[in-house]
């Protein structure tokens, strides 16, 4: 393995040999003893763990291959647009996801076994920002006569409208807020989801046509469910979870104890322009990080009128004047978490940013009681050290209590749905039930997706919307939904790629049965296991990959001295060159990336490159079985695990 001489102090995590394994394998013996083998190489496509870890099932490896230049675009398209089209097959919000998704794909990346994960988020942001700058558009088939009512214009509702339109189905989105976007607009600060990019990604979906929008409309109040059932062919519930959970302790009903969801909504609407002297947020997840980061930016205003305090604004009674910005001073902001730092659910770099901005974080503590003043308002929060019972329940450690003074308490410990007027759909927990196809039980034509199923990530809601749109399409066709694959993602399809390259197999005449390897009616020597298998790192030849540091987005976030009124983005995205270099770190797990190892190391010249006019991604090499002796060397040196010794067994 080649070491990077400029980074000799870096400790590589990959080890080519295990402890006690010090004998060099004698490949020459393998070659001369393997001429009797009945196993020869087959090219096997599997799903990489980045894609398997992505809740929306993006073809991550696919668009990284396009950015790095391995997979070529059609003749009439540049690589940037081709990468955009591939990435948005599953998720129509690359600019948003590249910024705010906590990236479970990066946690799953096999490159972690070499040195560090591929910066998938950074490359996705580049794709989204390039699409924004070049105004790339979606393509859609002709519009049919079916119409779906989509209740909720957040990530799930918008993604569903997009996927349904690609299947030829129109929709009407009913949204109770004034604008579309859901949690991307009202739950995440604009310095993380810049509004020009968000507006553009939403408008790009609407520009497909056949998608109507009715904002300021609440189903169950302004429009009845019966009316929807009468006027639409199907109904998809994407109402989200907009009700925050209060602290489960005495005194939490004080007027200045508010939910993180409502706090962020008031800020994102522009009505909340300042907080208070001392703010405490109870949480530990990404929402709580947003709360404390916003609170540090808003700061406080000394001697603020009582009727202009944050709880009055968050309650919807008044709105702050934007002129308040000139009067801001720094506020003391504290975040408390049940868990130690390593176990917090918040994204690690977001926690780092909050600390850098001057937020104090207390780990491993639990709220015990909200202490009230003579006016019934919270003036302090009693806390204690936290331990967990065998059933996972957090409890306070007796004798460890302490008090934190405060003027505002924000609870960011979870959220639920607001099903007022829709009680018939409530499963008793403020959520909606569904089956594995996201159909509501015992309600024909009703489907559901997003946080109202189970509050989770934006990308989870988008993935559920894709499956729900498939189910609606099957419902319209009058057929039972397909069995979902074990690995339920948007897969690379070799046949589609061959058709795109005008290399599709010819029709089968149903005559030839033997000796078909020279015929062109099928894809030979290839097996697609991507719907069933995720390729693990031990299937790869990791020794092929030298230490290569990540190409990092440049941070420009403020420190605690400059955070007040700082609402610019925290990071600068990668340019095209850096994005290509970062994509080049992708190990292409489960798919050939044309390294030529198998061709170079084959002692029999049995493995060969396919002729250029017959080559495309996944069909770069082939095997002459008249020469192959089954020595396995090609499989041993394949970095991506694409070669599997088979055919005989």
CB environment 307-336: b (16+ within 10 A), e (fewer): ebbbbbbbeeeeebeeebbeebeebbbbbb
Biggest distance spanned by C-alpha atoms of the chain? 92
Which residue's entry shows tokens 């939910």?
259
Eight-class DSSP state of 610: P
* Cβ-contact 383, 366 below 8 angstroms: yes
Domains and CATH numbers, the chain: 27-47+491-508+516-550+585-649 (no CATH), 147-242+417-477 (3.50.50.60), 246-413 (3.50.50.60)
What single string gives the DSSP state of each residue in 272-318? -----SEEEEEE-SHHHHHHHHHHHHH-B-TT--GGGSHHHHHTTS-
β-pairing, 446-448 with 234-237?
parallel
Burial class (CB in 10 A: 0-12, 13-18, 19+), 398: exposed
Q: How far apart are CA 165 and CA 180, in angstroms?
A: 17
**How many Å separate Cα 163 from the centre of its chain?**
17
**pLDDT of the residue at 10:** 53
**pLDDT of the residue at 649:** 44
**pLDDT of the residue at 9:** 47
Half-sphere exposure of 541 (CA within 13 A, CB side): 19
* Sheet bearing 40-45, strands edge to edge: 526-528, 40-45, 643-646
End-to-end C-alpha distance for the chain, whole angstroms: 33
Per residue in 553-593, pLDDT (tens digit) is: 988 889 999 999 999 998 899 999 999 999 999 999 999 99
**pLDDT of the residue at 523:** 82
Helices 155-166 and 195-206: crossing angle in degrees, nearest 10, is 30
**pLDDT of the residue at 573:** 95
**pLDDT of the residue at 14:** 60
* Cβ-contact 30, 24 below 8 angstroms: no
Mean pLDDT, the chain cut into blocks of 10 residues (649 residues total):
41 60 62 60 95 96 96 93 97 97 95 96 98 96 96 98 98 97 96 97 98 97 97 98 94 96 96 94 96 96 87 90 85 97 92 96 98 96 96 94 97 93 94 96 96 95 97 95 89 91 84 73 88 94 94 90 93 95 97 96 94 91 88 92 78
Both tokens of 243, joined, read 């009700």
CA dihedral 471, 472, 476, 478 (to 10 degrees): 30
- Please give the model's pTM, rounded to 2 decimal places: 0.92
Closest CA to 286 of 189, 155, 358, 383: 189
């Amino acid at each position: 393995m080649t070491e990077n001489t400029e980074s000799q102090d870096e400790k590589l995590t990959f080890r080519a040999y295990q402890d006690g394994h010090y004998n060099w394998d004698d490949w020459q013996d393998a070659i001369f003893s393997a001429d009797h083998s009945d196993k020869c190489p087959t090219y096997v496509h599997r799903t990489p763990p980045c894609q398997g870890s992505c809740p929306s099932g993006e073809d991550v490896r696919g668009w990284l291959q396009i950015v790095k230049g391995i997979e070529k675009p059609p003749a009439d398209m540049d690589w940037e647009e081709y990468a955009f089209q591939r990435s948005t097959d599953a998720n129509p919000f690359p600019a948003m996801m590249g910024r705010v998704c906590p990236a479970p794909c990066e946690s799953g990346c096999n490159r972690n076994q070499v040195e560090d994960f591929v910066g998938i988020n950074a490359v996705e942001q580049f794709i989204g920002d390039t699409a924004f700058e070049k105004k790339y558009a979606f393509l859609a088939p002709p519009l049919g006569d079916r119409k779906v009512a989509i209740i909720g214009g957040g990530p799930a509702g918008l993604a569903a409208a997009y996927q349904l339109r690609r299947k030829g189905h129109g929709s009407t989105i009913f949204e109770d807020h004034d604008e579309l976007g859901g949690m991307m607009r009202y739950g995440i600060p604009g310095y993380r989801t810049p509004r020009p990019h968000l507006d553009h990604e939403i408008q790009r979906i609407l520009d497909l046509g056949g998608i109507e929008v009715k904002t300021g409309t609440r189903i169950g109040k302004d429009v009845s469910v019966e009316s929807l059932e009468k006027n639409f062919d199907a109904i998809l519930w994407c109402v989200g979870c907009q009700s925050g959970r209060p602290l489960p302790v005495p005194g939490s009903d004080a007027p200045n104890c508010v939910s993180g969801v409502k706090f962020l909504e008031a800020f994102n609407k522009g009505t909340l322009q300042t907080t208070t002297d001392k703010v405490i947020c109870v949480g530990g997840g990404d929402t709580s990080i947003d709360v404390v980061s916003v609170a540090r930016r808003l700061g406080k205003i000394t001697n603020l009128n009582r009727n202009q305090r944050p709880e009055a604004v968050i309650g919807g009674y008044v709105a702050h004047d934007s002129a308040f910005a000139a009067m801001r001073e720094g506020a003391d902001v504290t975040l408390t978490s049940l868990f130690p730092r390593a176990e917090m659910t918040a994204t690690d770099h977001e926690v780092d940013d909050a600390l850098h901005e001057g937020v104090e974080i207390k780990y491993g503590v639990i709220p015990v009681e909200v202490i009230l003043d003579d006016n019934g308002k919270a003036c302090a929060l009693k806390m204690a050290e936290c331990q967990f019972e065998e059933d996972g329940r957090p409890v306070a450690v007796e004798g460890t209590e302490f008090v934190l003074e405060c003027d505002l308490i924000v609870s960011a410990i979870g959220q639920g749905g607001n099903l007022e007027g829709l009680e018939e759909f409530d499963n008793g927990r403020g959520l909606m039930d569904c089956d594995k196809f996201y159909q509501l039980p015992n309600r024909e034509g009703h489907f559901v997706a997003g946080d109202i199923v189970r509050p989770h990530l934006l990308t989870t809601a988008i993935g559920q919307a894709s499956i729900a749109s498939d189910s609606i399409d099957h419902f319209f066709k009058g057929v039972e939904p397909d069995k979902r694959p074990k690995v339920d993602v948007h897969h690379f399809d070799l046949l589609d790629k061959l058709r795109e390259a005008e290399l599709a197999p010819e029709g089968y005449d149903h005559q030839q049965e033997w000796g078909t390897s020279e015929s062109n009616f099928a894809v030979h020597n290839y097996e697609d296991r991507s719907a069933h298998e995720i390729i693990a790192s031990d299937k790869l030849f990791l020794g092929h990959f030298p230490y290569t540091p990540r190409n990092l987005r440049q941070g420009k976030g403020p420190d605690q001295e400059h955070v007040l009124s700082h609402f610019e983005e925290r990071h600068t995205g990668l340019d095209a060159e850096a994005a290509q270099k970062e994509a080049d770190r992708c190990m292409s797990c489960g798919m050939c990336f044309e390294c030529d190892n198998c061709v170079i190391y084959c002692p029999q010249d049995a493995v060969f490159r396919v002729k250029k006019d017959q080559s495309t991604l996944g069909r770069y090499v082939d095997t002459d079985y008249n020469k192959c002796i089954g020595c396995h060397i090609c499989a041993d040196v394949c970095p991506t695990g694409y070669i599997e010794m088979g055919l005989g067994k």
